[in-house]
Structure 1
Amino acid sequence: MTYVSHASAFTPTTKLPFEQLISHLRSAAKYPLRITCFGVATFIDDDPDAEAISFDHTLRLAECRSHDSAIAEAEHRIAERDFGNAGNGCWTYAPRVIAILDADGALVTGGEVRGSAIRWCDPVASDGEARKIVTEASRLRGQAFIEAGQNNQAAARNLRFSASILEARLVDKFWREPARAVLPKAA
């Protein structure tokens, strides 16, 4: 009868340095990634003389297990205009901004919808650049507030979306390098 040691029967796949193991564990906790779309919904009315009723609306499109697959899924959904059962035929949807968020709600990647494509935004390079973007986005939102107060809803909406597109560059620090690595392949 031969005796097999448990230690020799178990072969570990790889040994990771402690720092790398911690990094992998932190990264795993950030998934799945959620694809969110910000846009304008417009009610469909049978009366052609009726004034269109539009409102800003956020859709949650999908969840993905990797950054690459989230970008590919977002691009596919926009190209195919696949917004799930949004509106159930009661309203149309015009997407404006795509955001990919991690499980903590941090921004992973953002982009502007242009027709049937997404123009992905470059992540900020520094905290100083992030502060400048926050300042400019706040200024645009302030202008939007003034326009809305003057009952100029279309201008207010465009200013808010311009601010959102700027904010799409405010990728969380954890995701800045991975986003830079993935985005050239997605562009």
Structure 2
Amino acid sequence: MTTFSSFDTFRPISQMVATDVMPALARPRTLPLRVSCLGTASHGDGEAGDSFDRIIPLGECLSAEDAMRFASLRLSQGSICTGPDSFTHFRPRIMLIEDREHRLVLAGCIRARAIIWQQPVASDAEARRIVTEASRLRGMAFRPSEPCDARRLRYRAAALEARLVDPFWRETAADLLRLPQAA
């Protein structure tokens, strides 16, 4: 005769609430996801002296997968800086996906008109190391006399910070980057 313990067939209600119910309730409060692009803008001929950093809001999506597709589409179409308040020159650098509470869901560096989505940090310790290095780079950005050098250091810091996905979204982001279409 085989006997089963209650732990072999049933999960405690507290575990079900913590792993199934609470995340399902929290997720709708975080939607829609906001897609935006960080880049260098200018109204003139794009020379370094008159350019400045700008975040351009692109739109909202109801899922992270849709947000990734939307961001890639806008970049490939060259339709990031459009509208009445657009800039003559805009160089996209980093694509951002944030939830309603402004928590980072996923970010990617832009190279050759493609988004290279960054793998989220795996732990709080790794996040602390990235924050330390990004802070060091931002501190170095105050030293150069050339605005281009300072901007380059700030973007290196921002590229590192692209991995600082909010703990609520880390697992989702990591799962998304494992999918074939994310590559």
How does the TM-score come out when normalised to structure 2?
A: 0.83
Unaligned stretches of 5+ in structure 2?
1-15
Residues 32/127 of structure 1: CA separation in 2 closer, same or farther (3 Å cut):
same
Equivalent of 2:170, from 157, 160, 176? 176
Unaligned stretches of 5+ in structure 1?
1-16
| Amino acid across the alignment from 1:162 | R
Counterpart position of 1:165: 159
Residues 114/22 of structure 1: CA separation in 2 closer, same or farther (3 Å cut):
same
Counterpart position of 1:42: 42
Residues 136/42 of structure 1: CA separation in 2 closer, same or farther (3 Å cut):
same
Q: Name the SS of the counterpart of 2:35 in structure 1.
A: strand
What aligned pairs does 1:82-93 form with structure 2 within 5 A after superposition?
82-86=79-83, 90-93=87-90
Provide the rounded CA distance (Å) in 2 between the counterparts of 1:139 and 1:78. Answer: 30
Q: CA RMSD in A?
A: 2.0
| Amino acid across the alignment from 1:160 | R
| Matched residues, number | 165
Q: How far off is 1:176 after superposition? A: 0.4
Q: Name the SS of the counterpart of 1:125 in structure 2.
A: coil
Q: Name the SS of the counterpart of 1:104 in structure 2.
A: coil
Q: Name the SS of the counterpart of 1:124 in structure 2.
A: coil
Q: How far off is 1:88 after superposition? A: 5.2
The higher radius of gyration belongs to: 1
What aligned pairs does 1:11-160 form with structure 2 within 5 A after superposition?
18-19=17-18, 20-45=20-45, 53-86=50-83, 90-147=87-144, 150=145, 152-160=146-154
Residues 102-159 of structure 1 show CA distances to partners (whole Å, capped at 9, x for unaligned) of 0000000011011210001000011110000000000000011111xx2x10000010
Provide the rounded CA distance (Å) in 1 between the counterparts of 2:17 and 2:86. Answer: 53
| Amino acid across the alignment from 2:142 | F
Sequence identity percentage: 42
Provide the rounded CA distance (Å) in 2 between the counterparts of 1:68 and 1:60. Answer: 18
Provide the rounded CA distance (Å) in 2 between the counterparts of 1:89 and 1:18. Answer: 47
| Contact 2:48–2:147, Cα closer than 8 Å, also in 1 | no
Provide the rounded CA distance (Å) in 2 between the counterparts of 1:89 and 1:109. Answer: 25
